[in-house]
């Protein structure tokens, strides 16, 4: 699909480039052209992949700003259900008396639903990539893949809800070429993992 975003203010994040008036052309899932409206557009870009003016969709940005998406490097996406819940407690009481008992009640369907809420909030806020650690990483990965959210999954290995064997399977499953989802080895915390578990990881 060829998409043209026009009538936009563009912030490229290049060090020596100010915001400029321009447009962006997209072929399938790749940005093929970013240019200033005051220059002569090429007839074609990217080795003749997008001929000029052959668009499946054109979007008037109405002078709004286009810029790279934000990245959130610390998320526990399905925890949307605990937002503002007992947030006046010290960490140990909050975790052990409020969070962990409620998380024990979660199943894959509820994790999926709460993760979808989180991804909708990310996208609404301009966040296009996350670094997520939570129970059942497979479920969070599936939600992100389905909704087009780039995600780095972290195993969240701990003594109670996962294993080194599970972590290995998830690592091999999600680290595939050209995927929105990748997987990094990690553990929940030093206070939820015995030394032997960390050595095995």
Domain architecture of the chain: domains with CATH: 2-66 (2.30.40.10), 70-200 (3.20.20.140)
In tens, the pLDDT along 126-157 reads 999 999 999 999 999 999 999 999 999 998 89
Cα Rg of the chain, angstroms: 21
- What confidence score (pLDDT) does residue 185 get? 95
What percentage of the chain carries pLDDT values higher than 90?
A: 76
- What confidence score (pLDDT) does residue 67 get? 95
Average pLDDT of the residues in 110-130: 97
**Least confident range of 13-17, 40-44, 103-107, 112-116:** 40-44
- What confidence score (pLDDT) does residue 178 get? 87
The Cα 156–Cα 175 span in angstroms is 16
What is the sign, positive or negative, of the torsion defined by CA atoms of 84, 87, 92, 98? negative
Residue 58, phi then psi, degrees to nearest 5: -125, 135
Look at residue 46 and tell me whether its pLDDT is greater than 70: no
Average pLDDT of the residues in 172-190: 94
155-165 burial, b at 16+ Cβ within 10 Å, e below that, comes to: bbbbeebbebe
Q: What is the mean pLDDT of the chain?
A: 91
**Least confident range of 77-81, 87-91, 179-183:** 87-91
Show the tokens assigned to 53: 């003016």
Helical packing angle, 137-147 and 108-124, nearest 10°:
40
User: Would you tell me how many other CB atoms lie within 10 Å of the CB of residue 154?
Assistant: 22
The Cα 126–Cα 114 span in angstroms is 19
Q: Where are the alpha helices (DSSP H) in 25-180?
A: 91-93, 100-103, 108-124, 137-147, 164-174
Look at residue 33 and tell me whether its pLDDT is greater than 60: yes
The Cα 129–Cα 145 span in angstroms is 11
């Amino acid at each position: 699909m060829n998409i043209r975003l026009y009538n936009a203010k563009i912030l490229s994040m290049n060090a020596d480039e100010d915001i400029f008036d321009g447009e962006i052309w997209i072929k399938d899932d790749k940005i093929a052209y970013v240019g200033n409206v005051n220059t002569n557009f090429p007839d074609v870009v990217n080795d003749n992949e997008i001929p000029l003016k052959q668009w499946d969709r054109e979007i008037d940005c109405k002078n709004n700003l286009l810029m790279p998406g934000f990245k959130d490097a610390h998320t526990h996406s399905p925890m949307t259900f605990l937002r503002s819940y007992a947030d006046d407690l010290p960490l140990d009481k909050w975790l052990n008396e409020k969070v962990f008992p409620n998380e024990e009640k979660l199943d894959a369907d509820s994790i999926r639903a709460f993760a979808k809420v989180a991804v909708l909030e990310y996208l609404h806020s301009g966040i296009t990539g996350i670094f997520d650690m939570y129970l059942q990483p497979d479920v969070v990965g599936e939600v992100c893949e389905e909704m087009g959210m780039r995600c780095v999954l972290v195993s969240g290995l701990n003594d109670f809800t996962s294993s080194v064997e599970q972590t290995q399977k998830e690592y091999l499953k999600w680290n595939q070429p050209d995927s929105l989802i990748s997987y990094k080895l990690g553990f929940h915390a030093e206070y939820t993992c015995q030394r032997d578990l960390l050595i095995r990881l």
